[in-house]
Structure 1
């Protein structure tokens, strides 16, 4: 059984146990309780690996409405309420409410609704503008570690790849958030992104001279490929496409491409190639909390919130994949063209992607450690070409 297969079996068992608890809520001294015994069996098969696990779990659970204090919090995300990706935060909000029998209630907002600029997400949490947030670290200026933790080139291609990556880097992620006065609670999953152009293009060479909307380390990646890019928030993209201020955009995938109307203007859409991707691999955002608010919560409610974010993490992988295929067909019927970069461009992507990591590894000792771990992470997940390229580049630059 290889690393990926072990991870998948472990995830199935974890989700089963959490799922049983989720079915009955989590007990609190603030609520009446009942005891339920549940027995369940799950068999999971990944490649040649299989495991059958029977779990008998007794759950002391909150019954009915909470008898004590009800906690009400705001939670922000970079996605607007009409965006399909907003559905994932709604799912999380619903899970927390169910797990705590209504004792913890979140009201979700987009960053603009709360007047939160993308570069000021941590400041907004510390100031109490919002008690919780799904933080997009691609936009954070506080530490060079933050851009490394999200929205970057690489081979990670699905929810299981990302889960393994998070667990291997999580100690650094926790310390970096703590350093700037917020509490890291858990990750959220987002699939590799598409790139859509207003005019026909078929290769990286065809993209030269075109202006691509980007964010985070993607701008550095494009520059290394000899391409032009501009950082721009999502709310400005449709107008920018209309006026020709940008020739292309990367904003999640087919689902947001359709719902936001981008399909009307950018009809030539490059899909990610598994294990290569383009400007962005599968990436996380991070559920974070104001420390005073987090510390005021009873321990069982903290556990409920953590359980909910991990359940949402895996549910998002399922939901996003289904939405991707559904909206892809709608876009194609509307005249969009699904494209793949030619294989001769794959080496260019890996070379430029690795150089992004080399640049970032030189920013600080913590960045160096964070980047170095990618060698074994990628190798463990089977992305050997990426792992070898990074290892060779780090040796060449005297970093290992």
Structure 2
């Protein structure tokens, strides 16, 4: 395929990836893989990252390496993809790591933990810090090699049937919340529910749950949560920037020619950039639409945020004392966050605060 055609089809991220990608020999072997997603096909943003990845792999190899993408529940349940990759039932998956905190809380760190890093900081830790190094050492226990698979940016705190004004309002609340965040919320009296994205609306509509969070306005509007819960809260302090990942079976990866392994690395970066761009571009438009539909937008008050922060820090200290995997990955994560926050506190945040107060 001519470089001009490839550039046109892949956009800016594709230019960056294709420009660095190796030449693929015409004699290279043909390979077919399957990718199991944890997400429903209806969400072109988060599910779409896997399709972007697959398309880039195919184009950079002249169609010789093809990866079929399967929505959550098609090949296996959305929360079983780790088992599928570990056992090599499928060669790879696209998911959010915190879904699997029950296997080991350390899974959550490479996705999102309460009061963690934002999207840009997380990408910096993964690609320029020790993030990929320390998480891959952990994932080796599960026959997995991980690659960045997109970031949602900061998320909303979700949809509630009634207003949440005090910490006491959280007690007994049946709340669909992704993965590890439930560990912190349960310490505040919440009853967390881990429900796949495609099943949330029905649970909220039937009253099986009292509240639910997913990602943000674009996806939430598509899923129709505003029709059954009028109160929309921010910020989702448990997901300052959800880093999704591609999980690949280590033996399947090792069997690939080096050129194909290089293509996977480049394709993951294209998908990573594309997902963040989609959310940043589409969330503002969707938020305006939700407001026009009568949604009540609320900010979580400082008292609730501070109570949650304290519980999160206490939990992390407890895990650090009892889980060697957690301590190793988390200590590196927090060290990086402390350093990068110093920069964001001055230039980045200072500029953002000023610009967000202006009328453009």
Q: TM-score range by the shorter chain?
A: 0.7 to 0.9
TM superposition shift of 1:299: 0.8
- 2:107 matched residue in structure 1: 146
Cα distance in 2 for residues equivalent to 1:210 and 1:250: 13
Cα distance in 2 for residues equivalent to 1:270 and 1:289: 35
More helix by share: 2
- Structure 1 residue aligned with 2:286, among 316, 327, 330? 327
Q: Deviations over 1:239-284 (max 9, x none)?
A: 2111211111111111221111222112211122xxxx42322122
Q: Deviations over 1:69-89 (max 9, x none)?
A: 322221122110001321222
Cα distance in 2 for residues equivalent to 1:24 and 1:250: 38
- 2:124 matched residue in structure 1: 164
The 3-state SS of whatever aligns with 2:271 is: helix
TM superposition shift of 1:346: 3.2
TM-score normalised to the size of structure 1? 0.75
TM superposition shift of 1:143: 2.9
The aligned runs of 1:117-156 (5 Å cut-off) are 117-118=78-79, 120-140=80-100, 141-156=102-117
Cα distance in 2 for residues equivalent to 1:228 and 1:319: 32
Structure 1 residues 125, 89: closer, same or farther in 2, change over 3 A?
same
Cα distance in 1 for residues equivalent to 2:163 and 2:105: 35
1:267 counterpart = 2:267: no
- Structure 2 residue aligned with 1:101, among 17, 39, 62? 62
- 1:243 matched residue in structure 2: 206
- Structure 2 residue aligned with 1:26, among 19, 22, 25? 22
- 1:192 matched residue in structure 2: 154
- Structure 2 residue aligned with 1:341, among 277, 284, 300? 300
Cα distance in 2 for residues equivalent to 1:282 and 1:151: 7
Cα distance in 2 for residues equivalent to 1:179 and 1:209: 36
**Is the 8 Å Cα contact of residues 73 and 131 (structure 1) preserved in structure 2?**
yes
Structure 2: state its 5+ residue gaps.
1-10, 346-360
The aligned runs of 1:362-381 (5 Å cut-off) are 362-381=321-340
TM superposition shift of 1:185: 3.6
**Which protein has the larger Cα radius of gyration, Structure 1 or Structure 2?**
1
- 1:206 matched residue in structure 2: 169
More strand by share: 1
Cα distance in 1 for residues equivalent to 2:137 and 2:264: 20
**Is the 8 Å Cα contact of residues 125 and 133 (structure 1) preserved in structure 2?**
yes
Higher relative contact order (CA 8 A, sep 6+): 2
- 1:290 matched residue in structure 2: 249
Cα distance in 1 for residues equivalent to 2:164 and 2:110: 30
**Is the 8 Å Cα contact of residues 188 and 287 (structure 1) preserved in structure 2?**
no
- Say how many residue pairs are matched: 330
Structure 1 residues 22, 281: closer, same or farther in 2, change over 3 A?
same
- 1:218 matched residue in structure 2: 181
**Is the 8 Å Cα contact of residues 39 and 78 (structure 2) preserved in structure 1?**
no
**Is the 8 Å Cα contact of residues 118 and 154 (structure 2) preserved in structure 1?**
yes
Cα distance in 1 for residues equivalent to 2:117 and 2:146: 22
Cα distance in 2 for residues equivalent to 1:218 and 1:108: 28
Structure 1: state its 5+ residue gaps.
1-14, 32-66, 387-400
1:71 counterpart = 2:41: no
